[in-house]
């Protein structure tokens, strides 16, 4: 069964910016002033929900919101202010590696202490924690590979050909039932989650919104094409070992065959993608535009920084025995064992 394709509902606001933006999109209030972004927490709920709402107009939009809102000049001005606040904070806060070679080499090293989220879930995670992890990650995985597709018109030669090849795999290699977003929807069903697109937006933490917003930020700006390639490299190079641990966690907890299959698929596919991204996408891009090396490194650094913030949030909550979500998620269907 295919996941629902309906437009998601707008969530409640999480502060003055996002609340005013929601009212504007529904035609019940004025657009918030772009200057309001300057005082917002660059990693906080209010800014990131507002930015997520702006970006989502370029994906599936929202129920009750006119498609024309995608190119509303006022909305674009607000989005630019939110982006500038977020991007300036990332450039100031994300620890920088010593150049691109150092950044790429660091991605190949597994943390010796094994204290990451996937290590925790593999070794001791319970089914409710896997369910929460999937609910958070659904904001990306139900549109997996979509943000990266925006870079294709901005590449050429080896980089374009290699990037298109990886994206083709992500989109199922021409088979609808193998599209990775579809596979994740199947995983969600095994975990007793609703696979509807955007269903868990209101439950996701700001740290997760920031991770997803980073991809859209890089994807929607041609000047950040190098950063998007860096982000893609970080995702693909680190995916295989993490997916192996998550597949084991799904098996250990009896999550279900589709839950296991999603991560088993990524172990194999992303091991191949890692080589293509490093030796064809990045190398091809820098053969044509060597000046983008620093941007590629920044994409890696910013991605790692936001993923580390998300990991601290998840592990801090779980080790304290509390939910990592804004609202706990209860199973909506019978669990498959």
Please report the pLDDT score of residue 113 as a whole number: 62
Q: Tell me: domain 100-319, CATH 3.40.50.970, correct?
A: no
User: What is the DSSP secondary-structure string of 69-124?
Assistant: GGG-HHHHHHHHHHHHHHHHHHHHHSPPPSSHHHHHHHHTSPPTT--SHHHHHHHT
Please report the pLDDT score of residue 270 as a whole number: 64
**The token pair that represents 106 in the structure block:** 């660091």
Please report the pLDDT score of residue 255 as a whole number: 96
Contact between 63 and 31 (Cβ < 8 Å): no
First to last CA, the chain: 19
Q: What angle do CA 79, 298, 264 make, to 5 degrees?
A: 95
Q: Using alpha carbons, list the distances in angstroms from residue 159 to 75, 120, 156, 276.
A: 33, 35, 6, 10
Please report the pLDDT score of residue 5 as a whole number: 53
Please report the pLDDT score of residue 112 as a whole number: 57
Give CA–CA dist 183/171, Å, rounded.
10
Please report the pLDDT score of residue 336 as a whole number: 41
Give CA–CA dist 289/166, Å, rounded.
21
| Helix 293-319 × helix 100-107 angle, to 10° | 40
**What averages of pLDDT result for each successive group of 10 residues across the chain (337 residues)?**
70 97 97 95 98 98 96 98 98 95 87 80 96 97 95 97 94 94 97 96 98 98 98 90 95 96 84 85 96 97 97 97 89 52
Residues near 175 by beta carbon (within 8 Å), at least 6 away in sequence: none
Please report the pLDDT score of residue 234 as a whole number: 93
Please report the pLDDT score of residue 109 as a whole number: 78
Domain segments of the chain: what residues? 16-93, 100-319
């Amino acid at each position: 069964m295919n996941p629902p394709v309906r437009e998601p509902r707008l969530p409640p606001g999480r502060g003055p910016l996002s609340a005013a933006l929601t009212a504007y999109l529904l035609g019940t209030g004025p657009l918030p002033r772009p200057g309001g972004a300057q005082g917002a927490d660059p990693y906080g709920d209010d800014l990131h929900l507002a930015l997520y709402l702006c970006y989502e107009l370029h994906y599936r939009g929202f129920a009750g919101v006119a498609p024309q809102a995608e190119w509303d000049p006022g909305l674009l001005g607000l989005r630019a202010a939110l982006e500038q606040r977020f991007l300036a904070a990332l450039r100031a806060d994300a620890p920088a590696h010593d150049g691109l070679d150092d950044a790429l080499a660091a991605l190949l090293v597994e943390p010796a202490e094994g204290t990451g989220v996937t290590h925790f879930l593999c070794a001791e995670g319970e089914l409710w924690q896997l369910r929460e992890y999937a609910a958070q990650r659904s904001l990306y995985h139900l549109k997996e590979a979509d943000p990266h597709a925006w870079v294709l018109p901005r590449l050429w030669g080896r980089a374009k050909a290699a990037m298109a090849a990886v994206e083709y795999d992500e989109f199922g290699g021409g088979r609808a039932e193998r599209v990775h977003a579809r596979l994740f929807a199947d995983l969600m069903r095994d975990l007793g989650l609703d696979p509807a697109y955007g269903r868990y937006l209101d439950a996701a933490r700001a740290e997760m919104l920031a991770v997803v917003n980073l991809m859209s930020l890089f994807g929607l700006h041609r000047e950040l094409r190098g950063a998007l390639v860096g982000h893609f490299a970080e995702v693909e190079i680190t995916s295989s070992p993490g997916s192996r641990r998550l597949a084991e966690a799904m098996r250990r907890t009896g999550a279900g065959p589709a839950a296991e299959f999603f991560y088993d698929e990524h172990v194999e596919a992303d091991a191949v993608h890692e080589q293509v991204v490093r030796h064809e996408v990045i190398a091809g891009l820098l053969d044509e535009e060597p000046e983008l090396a620093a941007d590629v490194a920044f994409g890696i650094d910013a991605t790692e920084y936001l993923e580390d913030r998300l990991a601290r949030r998840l592990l801090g909550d779980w080790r304290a025995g509390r939910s990592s979500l804004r609202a706990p998620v209860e199973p909506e269907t019978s669990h498959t064992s």
